[in-house]
Structure 1
Amino acid sequence: MASSDDHNAFHDDSNDSSIISTRGLEAFGRKVTTTASHLMGPVTDPTSNSHYQQAMGEVSKQLGRPTLQRSMFSMAKTTPTDMVRSRLSTSEIQHRALAYVSDALLQDIPDEDNSYSLFQGFQASFPDFTDEGKKHRRRVSRGRKLIDEGRVEPGSPHAIQKLQKEKASLMHEFEMLGIRKNMASSEIRDIDIKIANLAGMRRIVLDKLANFEHEEAILEHDILDLENRLEEAEELVAEAESVAGLRTPTQGSEIAEDDNAGFMSQSIYEKLPSSNSTPAKGKKPRNLRRKSMPILHEHYEPGTSIRELRAHQDSITAMDFDAPFGTLVTSALDDTIKVWDLNVGRCIGNLEGHTASVKTLQVEDNICATGSVDATIRLWDLSRAQYDPLGEQLEKDNEEECLAFENPDDHPVEPPAGSMDQCHMTTLSSHMAEITALHFRGDVLVSGSADKTIRHWDLERGRCVQTLDVMWAAAQASVSASDGKWAPTSRAPVQDYDFVGALQVFDAALACGTADGMVRLWDLRSGQVHRSLVGHTGPVTALQFDDIHLVTGSLDRSIRIWDLRTGSISDAYAYEHPVTDMMFDGRRIVSAAGEDVVKVYDKLESRQWDCGAGVTAEEQGKTPASVERVRIRDGYMVEGRQDGMVGVWTC
C-alpha cells in the first residue's frame, strides 16, 4: 500500500523540482508527538517529567526579570543578518573584514609602479632579513660550514644537497634585498611628492604673509595720517590760546633768547625748526619711520632678488639704509642724492645742497649724514619729507603695486619738486679737503678727510671738538717703535686714493683705516692711538667692529678678521679683485670685490657663496656692471653698481 501511494505521489509530483517522501514525514510527526506527549502529558509518575517542570519553572523566573525582557525585545527588532553576525567571534569578523574585497574595488585598482606586493614587502622586512638577522644567520652558517667540512666528503651526494640548499637560501635572500631596495625607492618618491606639496603650501603661506604686510603698511599709513592730523589740531588750539594772550612771552625772555642765539654751546637742535612745527608752505611733513618690521624676506631662499632700481645714471659712490624695507639713500657721480622707500620701490625725493658729489653717507633711523667732495658734512631729517609713496598709490586705487617684492615701472613717477626741502638740519664745515669717510652714533660724529685729519664732532653743540692728525700719529708710532708700543708705519700711502678710507665710533673708541694699510684704534678722551693693527698691504676701504672682532677690507684683495682682545688676526679671506666695500651682520660678511656679484661669507656654516645679478646673468643674456657698494641688515642686502643700478636681495 505504501508502495502504491509512493507510486501515485511520484506521478502526481512528477513536474515538481523536489520530491518529499510521505513516509519520512509520517515518521517525523510520530516522533514529535511522542516527545511532546512524554514531556507535557499528565503527571502519572512524578519522577518521569520532574525535570521538565523544574526547567519550565526556572524559565518562568528568568522571563520575569526586566533585563531579560529588554534583551528579548531588542533581539526581536534585530535583523537576521545582525543575529548571525553576532554569533561570530571578534577575530573571525576582523579576518572577514580584511579578507573581503568587493568587485567594485577590485575593478578600480590604481596603477602602481611598484612591482612587488604588500605581502612581499612585509616578507622582505621580516626580522630574518634585517641587518641583525642576517648577521646572526651568517655567524650560524659559518659555524655549520666548519662542522660540515669535517664530517661530509666534498664529492658525496649529501654535500651536493647541502650546497644546493645554501644556494637556494642565498638566492632567496638576494630576492628579498631587491624587494627592500624597491621599497626604499618608493619611499623616496613618496617623500619627493610630499616635499612638492609642502613647497606649494609654503608658497601659499608666503602670499598670505605678503598680504598681511601689505595690510599692515596700509594701516600704518592711516595711523601716521591720524597722528599728523592730531598734531595739526593741537597746534591750531595752541595758536588760538596764544592769540588770546594765554601764552604771550615776556619781553625779558625775548631778549634772553636773542642774547643766547649766538652761543655755540646752545643745542643745535634748539637752533633748528622743530620737527613738529608746520612748514611755511605745503602740507605738514610726515613721519616716515615705520612702526613694524617686515619679515617677509627672512622666509625666502638666500640669493632671491627682491627688486632692482634705476637709481642713478652714473656709478654709485655711497649708499645706506636704516632697516629692511625701510628708507634708502644713494649718491652717485652724477652729483645727486636720492631718498628711496624700499617698501614700495619709489623715490621720495632728492637731497639738494652739496656743491659736489657725495662720497660717504650714513642713515640711522630718520637721520642721514652726508660727506661731500665740497669738504662739508650735512645732516638731514628724513621724517620731514613731504612725499608719501603709499598714499599716492592708495589715491590711485592701485594697491596691488604697493606690495613689497614687486618692482616699480620701467619709468617710475618722479617725486614732486621740493619734497625734501624741509629735511636739511645743519652743515658742518671744518675740513680743508673732501670728506672720504664718516660715522655717527648718538651725539658723536667722526669724519675723515683728504686733508689727512679726523675730526670729532659734538652734534648737540654743533661744533668740532677735536682734530686728530693721522700723519702725526703715524710719525709718533714710527719713533716709538723701539719701545714696542706700536708697530712701525714706514710704508707709504697709495697715491690717488682716499687717505682715510673707513671710520667707526662707539662712545670713546674710534677705529680708523687709512691708505697706508694701517688700522688704528683711537681713544677720543685722550686723542691718542691706543693700538695699531698691521697686516694689510693696501689701502683700507671698509671696516666694522663689534664687542669682540674687527673686520677690515682692503685694496690688497683681502678681508681680515681681527680679535680685539689680542690684536691678532683670527681669520683672513683672499679675493681676485680689490675689496671696495664690506659690511657684516650677525651671521654674514658681504663684500664688493670688483665683480658683478657680492661675495657672501656665512659665519655659521663657514662657507662662501655669490649673490647678485651676475649669478644668473649668462642664463638671462645680461651683462651686469660690477658692484661698488654693498649694505646688509638682518639678511636684507642692497648693492649698488657702476652703472647706477641698485639691487635688493635676500641674503
Structure 2
Amino acid sequence: MASRDGSPARHRRTGSEESGMLGTALTTRHIEAFGRKVTTTATHLIGDPESSVHYQHAMSALQKELRRPGIQQRVFSYAKASPTELVRSKLSTTEIQHRALTYLPDELLANIPEDDNVYSLFQGFQATLPEGESGHRKKPKRRNSRGQKLLEADDAEDKTPLEKLKNERHGLNHRLEMMSVRKNMCSSEIREIDNKISNLNTMRKIVLDRLGDLEQDEVRTEQDLLEVDNKLEDLLEELDDAATLGHTTATPPTEIDMETEVTTTDTQDMSASFMSASIYEKLPSPKSKRNKPTRRKSTPIRHEHFEPGSSIKEVQAHNDMITALDFDAPFGTMVTSALDDTVRVWDLNLGRCIGLLEGHQASVRCLQVEDNLLATGSMDASIRLWDLNKAEYLPREDITIEEEDEDQPASDDIDHPSLPHTSSMRDCPLFTLEAHVDEVTALHFRGDTLVSGSADKTLRQWDLVKGRCVQTLDVLWAAAQASSTMNTTDAKWRATGRTPDASADFVGALQCFDAALACGTADGMVRLWDLRSGQVHRSLVGHTGPVTCLQFDDVHLVTGSLDRSIRIWDLRTGSIHDAYAYDNPVTSMMFDSRRIVAAAGETVAKIYDKTDGRHWDCGNEEAKSSVERVRVKDGYLTEGRKDGVVGIWTC
C-alpha cells in the first residue's frame, strides 16, 4: 500500500509501542533529529568545517588512537596524578622557586631571614631540651625491693679509668656544642627582634606623619571656621549699622537734641580725663569691634610622641637678650619680650609672629599668658593687660607701603619672612595698672586677682575686675615684723643676717593662689604670705643667694637661686624635701607633673626627671649663647637665649 506521496507504506506503530521499545517518551523522529545535530556539531569541532568527513569516521579514528598502550598509560597516569605533581613534571624545583620569588611583592621579600645557620634542625631541638636529656641518657639505677639504691650498672663498674675519662670528655664536648647552639639561637632571636623593632619604627614614623597631616588639616579647618565667623560678624555689624542709619534718617535730630548730645559728650570727656588721671583705677575702654577669637580649639598631641630632646622649631625672635616668655598651650600662642624694648606674639603652630604689642615705655621684665589674657610688667613701673583674642593676624607681605607707619621702628633684621604690622594688635590693650614707683620685676595672676612685685620693695594686689590696687605689702616692714614675732616664739625662724644683693631684683619671683602668696627676694628668703591679713605666715631659710624663680603646687614649693641651687620644700612642714645644684646661677625654672626645667647659664636647658631622679640636658649644645628663660607645659619646652633666639623642644 502506497502513501499519498507515492512512497511505500510503512508499518505505523502506536505511541505505546514506541515507548515500550525505547523506554522513553522520545519518538524515533526526535532521536534522528538529535543525531543529525550531534553529527553536525562534531564535524565542526573535530574536523574541518569544509570537509565532508562524517562524525562516525572521526570517532572511529579516535578510538583507534585510544587503543594504543602508550596512550592508555599516559591517560591513566594523568588521572592518578595530583595538580602539584603535574606542575612538577613540567617545571624544575629551581624554576618553581624563581617564579614564586618573582611574583612576590618587595615588602614581603624585605624581611625573609637568611638561611645561614651552621647548625641543623635536630641540633636546635637537642639544645631546647633540659640539661641531661639532650645528651646520652644515663642508664637507670637499680633499686632493691625496699627502694634502696644499688650500685650502677655492671658495665659502668667494668669500665677502665681511661674509658671513663673519654666518656666524660665526650659529654663535656657535647655540652659545649649545645651551648654554642643555644648561643646561636639567642643571637637569631635578637636579630629577629631587631628586625621587628625596625619595622615597628618604620610603621610608627608613617603613623606619626599621618598624625602631623591631621593636625595641619585641623589648623586649616579652624582658619576656615575663623574666616566664616569673621564674615558672619561683619555682616551682623553691617546690618546693625544699616538699621541704625535708617532710624536716624527717619527721625532727624532737633536743636535741643544736638545741645544735649554736646553736653553729654563734654561730660564723658571730663569723666574720662578724671579716670585716666587716677593711678589706682584704669577701666577698659569700650570696643566697637566684636571679639574675634583666634585661639585654637583643638589640642595638638604630636609632640608627645617625639623622642625627648627633639627639636621642634628655632626662631630668631629678638635682637637682644630674652627677658621673659610664656605660652598658653603646646603649639598655641607664645609671647616674648627682650631688652630691645619689643613684645612679640607668636603662633607656635606656624612659627610666625602674629604682631607686636606697643604701649610700654621700656623693656618688659615679666609676663604671663593665661588663656586669652596677657599681663606684662615693665621697667617703666607699669603693668598692662591685653586680650589676645582681639588680634588680627595680617602678614607683612600683605600690607602695602602706604599702610606702613613712618614712626615704626625698623625690624627687618629679624630673620622672619612674615613679620606682621603693629596694627594687627591695635585692639588688644585692655587697661594699665599704675601704682609702683620702680620697675616691675615679677607678677602672677589667677582669676580676678593679680599680684606684682617691684624694685620699690613692695608687693601689690590688684582687682582685675575694677582695675585697681586693693592692697600694698611692704616687704621689708612685714619681714621685720615676722622676724621679731618668730624669734620670740620659735628659735628656728630667724633672720638670715644677709643684706640684699644690689645687682639682683629685689623681688625675684612670686606666685599666688587664692589667699596664699609665695615670694622670693634678693636676701635669699622665701616668704609665704596670707593676703587676707597681709602678714607673713612662714619664712623658708636656706638659699644663700637671691631667689630668682619659684613655683608651688598642693604639696611642694620649688625655688631657684643665684647660689646655683634648686630647692624643693615641703609646704606641710616647711622643711627641705630635696635639693641639688648646678655649675652656674639659676635664672629661670618651671616644673610640670614629671620634670623640673631650669636655665643655669649654659647653652642647654637642665632637666630633672622627678620620677626616676635622672638629670639630663635638652637643647642645642653648639648654640652661641646661654639659655636665660625657660617655660614647660606637658613636655613642650620653650627656651629663650641671650642672643634673642627662642628654641622649642620636647622633653
Q: TM-score range by the shorter chain?
A: 0.7 to 0.9
What CA distance in whole angstroms lies between the structure 2 residues aligned with 1:456 and 1:81? 104
What CA distance in whole angstroms lies between the structure 1 residues aligned with 2:286 and 2:217? 34
How many residues align? The count is 523
Aligned AA (1:527)? G
Contact persistence 2:316–2:646 (CA under 8 A): yes
Contact persistence 1:486–1:532 (CA under 8 A): no
Equivalent of residue 481 in structure 2, options 451, 476, 482: 476
2:325 paired with 1:312: no
Distance 1:392 1:591, change over 3 A: farther
Partner residue of 1:465? Answer: 470
What CA distance in whole angstroms lies between the structure 1 residues aligned with 2:556 and 2:425? 38
Contact persistence 1:268–1:459 (CA under 8 A): no
Contact persistence 1:477–1:487 (CA under 8 A): no
2:537 paired with 1:530: yes
Distance 1:568 1:157, change over 3 A: same
Report deviation, 1:335: 1.1
What CA distance in whole angstroms lies between the structure 2 residues aligned with 1:138 and 1:463? 99
Cα distance per residue 1:271-292 (max 9 Å; x no partner): 4224xx32xxxxx774221101
Partner residue of 1:433? Answer: 438
Cα distance per residue 1:505-555 (max 9 Å; x no partner): 111111100011111111111101111111111110000011111110001
Equivalent of residue 525 in structure 2, options 493, 518, 521: 518
**The residue matched to 1:289 in structure 2 has which SS?**
coil
2:283 paired with 1:273: no
Partner residue of 1:379? Answer: 385
**The residue matched to 1:451 in structure 2 has which SS?**
coil
2:302 paired with 1:296: yes
Aligned AA (1:194)? K
**The residue matched to 2:424 in structure 1 has which SS?**
coil
Q: How does 1:97-116 map to 2 (within 5 A)?
A: 102=93, 104=95, 111-116=114-119
Partner residue of 2:239? Answer: 237
2:368 paired with 1:362: yes
Aligned AA (1:182)? N
What CA distance in whole angstroms lies between the structure 2 residues aligned with 1:515 and 1:475? 15
2:425 paired with 1:420: yes
Per the normalisation by structure 2, the TM-score is 0.73
Report deviation, 1:151: 11
Percent identical among aligned pairs is 59
Distance 1:152 1:306, change over 3 A: closer
What CA distance in whole angstroms lies between the structure 2 residues aligned with 1:452 and 1:466? 14
Report deviation, 1:152: 8.0
Report deviation, 1:160: 2.6
2:338 paired with 1:332: yes
What CA distance in whole angstroms lies between the structure 1 residues aligned with 2:140 and 2:222? 74
RMSD: 3.8
Equivalent of residue 126 in structure 1, options 126, 129, 135: 129
Per the normalisation by structure 1, the TM-score is 0.73
What CA distance in whole angstroms lies between the structure 1 residues aligned with 2:161 and 2:492? 89
**The residue matched to 2:164 in structure 1 has which SS?**
helix
Contact persistence 2:281–2:469 (CA under 8 A): no
Q: How does 1:573-592 map to 2 (within 5 A)?
A: 573-592=580-599
Report deviation, 1:495: 1.6
Partner residue of 1:402? Answer: none
Partner residue of 1:650? Answer: 650
Report deviation, 1:369: 0.8
Aligned AA (1:587)? R
Report deviation, 1:268: 7.8
Distance 1:270 1:358, change over 3 A: closer
Aligned AA (2:115)? E
Partner residue of 1:454? Answer: 459
2:628 paired with 1:628: yes
Aligned AA (1:518)? M
Partner residue of 1:348? Answer: 354
Report deviation, 1:182: 0.4
Aligned AA (1:515)? A
Distance 1:81 1:578, change over 3 A: farther
Contact persistence 1:378–1:426 (CA under 8 A): yes
Distance 1:116 1:129, change over 3 A: farther
Report deviation, 1:594: 0.5
What CA distance in whole angstroms lies between the structure 2 residues aligned with 1:82 and 1:169? 54
What CA distance in whole angstroms lies between the structure 2 residues aligned with 1:374 and 1:269? 17
Contact persistence 1:350–1:420 (CA under 8 A): yes
Contact persistence 1:374–1:434 (CA under 8 A): yes
Report deviation, 1:81: 7.4
Cα distance per residue 1:582-604 (max 9 Å; x no partner): 00111110000001110001112
**The residue matched to 1:419 in structure 2 has which SS?**
helix
What CA distance in whole angstroms lies between the structure 1 residues aligned with 2:594 and 2:396? 32
Report deviation, 1:105: 6.3
Partner residue of 1:173? Answer: 175
Cα distance per residue 1:199-232 (max 9 Å; x no partner): 1111111111111010100000011111122222
Distance 1:263 1:351, change over 3 A: closer
Aligned AA (2:536)? V
Moved more, 585-594 or 379-388: 379-388
